[in-house]
Amino acid sequence: MTIGFIGLGNMAKAMIGGMLQKGVVAPNEIIGTANTEATCQKVAAQYGIQTRNSNATVAKEADIIFLAVKPDYMSVVIADIMDSVDDSKVIVSIAAGRSISWIAKEFEKPVKIVRVMPNTPALVGEGCSAVCRNDLVSDDDLHFIMELLGSFGKAYTVKESLMDVVVGVSGSSPAYVFLFIEAMADAAVAGGMTRKQAYEFAAQSVMGSAKMVLETGKHPGELKDMVCSPAGTTIEAVRVLEENGFRGTVMDAVSACIDKSRNLC
């Protein structure tokens, strides 16, 4: 089984690194191509994979083809590879705002298509990927792709109608969390803590809190109540957040992201 990557940016490198680290595939089973020869050489040296000098060559040789390019370049890439793709190959797109039907129309013929929305924590093996497929993709095909995606985090199947929601709650949300961490650290620095230590305390607290939600199965509200002692420091901080519309602002931000994703095409 040969895995091909068209585009070797940060997300592609995160995927390749996870697959190799978990041993799902070997370096000689991955090929890729990028806009520049320098990028190809750098990624080949870093991961030990093989590279090719054209999109069409990767598509011809690979069994599973990851389209790891920005949405604006999808039409050009598909035009490059369409003659090299037959019904035995699986196309895996990570482009936001490009539906399965849109991709199928660009190919102008029946093609196995899997649509994936990963996020940047894949770079540290903690990604969250949403997955949907068209009817041509077999259960065996999907199982193997889920195994590949699971090598750099969690992967869940969803209805394609929820993909824009995934963008809001998962795909783009690391940026909101980074803002939250930065803001907490700024306040800690204002209180006298060093910048480095402030980031460490804030980031570790966010990571640990997220882990509690995932591993305890408790409602986030219940976990919040466990920290809020009567007349204590935490409930005072929560009061200030609520007075300033913290939850409403987060909901509005996620909703705006979802709306933007729905209008990308």
Residues 103 and 34 in one domain: yes
Question: Edge to edge, what strands does the sheet with 64-67 contain?
Answer: 50-51, 30-33, 3-6, 64-67, 90-93, 112-117, 127-133, 153-157
- Please say which residue of 129, 163, 197 terminates a domain: 163
Q: Are 67 and 86 in contact (CB under 8 A)?
A: no
Residue 257: is it exposed, middle or buried by C-beta count within 10 angstroms (0-12/13-18/19+)? buried
Residues 113 and 133 in one domain: yes
Residue 4: is it exposed, middle or buried by C-beta count within 10 angstroms (0-12/13-18/19+)? buried
Please compute the mean of the pLDDT values over residues 237-264 and round it to a whole number.
95
Q: Where residue 263 falls among pLDDT bands split at 50, 70, 90? A: confident
Angle at 70 between CA 86 and CA 104, to 5 degrees: 30
Is the overall model pTM greater than 0.95, yes or no?
Answer: no
Per-residue confidence (pLDDT) for residue 97, from 0 to 100 = 87
Judge whether residue 265 has pLDDT over 70. Answer: no
Angle between helices 195-216 and 173-190 (to 10 degrees): 130
Q: What are phi and psi of 181, to 5 degrees?
A: -60, -45
Q: Where residue 95 falls among pLDDT bands split at 50, 70, 90? A: very high
Which residues span the domain enclosing 98? 3-163
- Please say which residue of 139, 163, 187 terminates a domain: 163
For residue 22, the one-letter residue type is K
Residues 24 and 140 in one domain: yes
Residues 49 and 86 in one domain: yes
Please compute the mean of the pLDDT values over residues 246-260 and round it to a whole number.
96
Q: Are 139 and 200 in contact (CB under 8 A)?
A: no
Sign of the dihedral defined by the CA atoms of residues 106, 90, 125, 218, in that order: positive
Of residues 157 and 263, the one with the higher pLDDT is: 157
Residues 117 and 202 in one domain: no
DSSP H helices, the chain, are 10-22, 37-47, 55-61, 74-81, 100-107, 139-150, 163-166, 173-190, 195-216, 220-227, 233-243, 246-262
Residues 80 and 117 in one domain: yes
Per-residue confidence (pLDDT) for residue 64, from 0 to 100 = 98
Please compute the mean of the pLDDT values over residues 187-203 and round it to a whole number.
98
125 phi-psi bin (left φ>0, alpha ψ -120 to 50, beta other): left
